[in-house]
Amino acid sequence: MRHAVFVVPFLFETSVRFLRAALRLPGVAVSLVSQDPLERFDPEIRSGLAAHWKVDNALDATQLTQAVQGLSRQIGPADRLIGVLEQLQVPLAEARENLGLPGLSSEAAECFRDKSVMKTRLREAGLPCARHCLATNTQQLQGFLEEVGFPVVVKPPAGAGAVDTFRLDSPEQVPQMLATWPPHPSRPMLIEEFIVGDEHSFDAVCIDGRCVWFSISDYTPTPLEVMSNNWIQWCVQLPRELEGRGYEPIIEAAPRALHALGMGTGFAHMEWFRRPDGSIAISEVGARPPGAQFTTLLSFAHDTDMYSAWSRLMIEDHFEPPERTHSAGAAYLRGQGQGAVKAIHGLEHAQRELGELVVDVKLPQAGQAQASGYEGEGYAILQHPHTDIVEHGLKRMIEIIRVELG
């Protein structure tokens, strides 16, 4: 029997969906390593686990190594050490190396984690991406600004969720940014040339570094625009057909980019831009399954369970490329105003007009705290064989539904 050790630091619903899928795999013993106590996990999960090991810090490679050693004594030698969280990928890789387990190397994991290293690698491989500079002092920042001009984007080199990510449009904005966030060796700042264009993802499945399957999605608008305008509700759509949509440049470049970054076996989530002239720039890549309900979207677009597909791939090295049967999309329901969720308007109207397209929904609940990210407080997922029907449905959904905060 295979023994897979799954790390879920905290009881996040996204991680738990992957864990549940691993527990459904026949002939696999799954152990859980978490920071949250086992009692927090629901009885169904607890009864499915072979064992549990609590750690104080799940991002510490030494603690993960000791956890796997302890679990191996209880259950038998571990075959895999896996987890889905972005912040876990480097410590997981380090622990696997300590233990001699297969998986993404720590060198590659670092490449995916640090956006500056990532962009340097991509450029070296001749792949298109924004010019960048990792500044540890003001001189470096000024030098880069003189070289590329405005606008630029500044962000933390290992950030996530567009947190602390800003667009600077003119020299007048620099002093204020420097006052609140001066670049320093202890706090380097990543500065990038601003790419004007629309934003997309390229979600890939790789086996031994070879891209064996992929999906593309369209973001409306870009996450940075959503973060900068608190009235905007974000939408993501997976069109059913990938031909005839100008995706050729990314279909050619993305597998080379994954190879250049040292991708092994697993899911990869790449974000990329397309400029008005059709040229592309690769933005960032994670060596992990995507967040923000994307795995659910992938499931609905291919009429399959991509959570299970990921578990099988990571534990048994097996993946059957599914066919695209539908378009799927998510409308992220995001409150307007300030404070907790007060009310949702337009539900009945949306139900009447769009109910037949909705396959999954998480409605913001009255009293729910305001979300800080661009995903908002809830979502509705739409599915239909026709791309334009989903596109129209998403547009209508965010027009009709209004989440009131206050």
Ligand X SMILES: Nc1ncnc2c1ncn2[C@@H]1O[C@H](COP(=O)(O)OP(=O)(O)O)[C@@H](O)[C@H]1O
CA 34 to CA 54: how far, in whole Å? 5
Nearer to ligand X, 1 or 196 (CB): 196
Task: Report the length, in residues, of the chain.
Answer: 406
Strands, E, within 8-146: which ranges?
Answer: 28-34, 51-54, 80-82, 132-135
Shortest spacing between CB 85 and ligand X, in angstroms: 13
Could you tell which of ligand X, Mg ion, none binds residue 130, using a CB distance below 5 to 8 A set by kind? Answer: ligand X
- Give the ranges where 317-384 is alpha helix by DSSP (H): 347-354
Q: Total binding residues for ligand X by CB under 6 A?
A: 19
Cα dihedral angle (228, 403, 203, 312), rounded to 10 degrees? 140
CA 186 to CA 79: how far, in whole Å? 37
31 binds ligand X (CB under 6 A): no
CA 234 to CA 219: how far, in whole Å? 8
Stretch that binds ligand X, among 5-13, 191-199, 237-245, 288-296 (CB under 6 A): 191-199
Backbone dihedral angles phi then psi of residue 42, each to the nearest 5 degrees:
-70, 160
Shortest spacing between CB 219 and ligand X, in angstroms: 7
Q: Which of 111, 195, 301, 371 binds ligand X (CB under 6 A)?
A: 195
116 binds ligand X (CB under 6 A): no
CB 214 within 8 A of CB 256: no
CA 227 to CA 369: how far, in whole Å? 17
284 binds ligand X (CB under 6 A): yes
Q: Which of 145, 174, 224, 251 binds ligand X (CB under 6 A)?
A: 224
Q: Which of 29, 33, 50, 130 binds ligand X (CB under 6 A)?
A: 130
114 binds ligand X (CB under 6 A): no
Hey, what are 14's tokens?
A: 């996204």
Hey, what are 399's tokens?
A: 């027009």
| Integer CA distances (angstroms), 45 to 3, 42, 233, in order | 16, 6, 34
Hey, what are 101's tokens?
A: 């387990």
Which residues does 384 contact at the CB level (< 8 Å), separation at least 6? Answer: 326, 327, 357, 390, 393
Shortest spacing between CB 211 and Mg ion, in angstroms: 20
283 binds ligand X (CB under 6 A): yes
222 binds ligand X (CB under 6 A): yes
**Residue with nearest beta carbon to Mg ion:** 271
Q: What is the DSSP string of 251-282?
A: HHHHHHHHHHHT--SEEEEEEEEE-TTS-EEE
Taking alpha carbons only, the member of 213, 305, 324 closest to residue 266 is 213
Nearer to ligand X, 188 or 393 (CB): 188
Task: Report the site for ligand X in 145-174 (rule: CB under 6 A).
Answer: 153, 155, 159-162, 165
Nearer to ligand X, 75 or 224 (CB): 224
Nearer to ligand X, 148 or 178 (CB): 148
Shortest spacing between CB 224 and ligand X, in angstroms: 3
Task: Report the site for ligand X in 301-340 (rule: CB under 6 A).
Answer: none
Shortest spacing between CB 236 and ligand X, in angstroms: 11
282 binds ligand X (CB under 6 A): no
* Matching residue, tokens 């993802």: 201
Shortest spacing between CB 399 and ligand X, in angstroms: 22
223 binds ligand X (CB under 6 A): yes
271 binds ligand X (CB under 6 A): yes
**What residue ranges bind Mg ion (CB under 5 A)?**
271
Helix, coil or strand: residue 344: strand
Binding site for ligand X (CB under 6 A): 115, 130, 153, 155, 159-162, 165, 192, 194-195, 199, 222-224, 271, 283-284
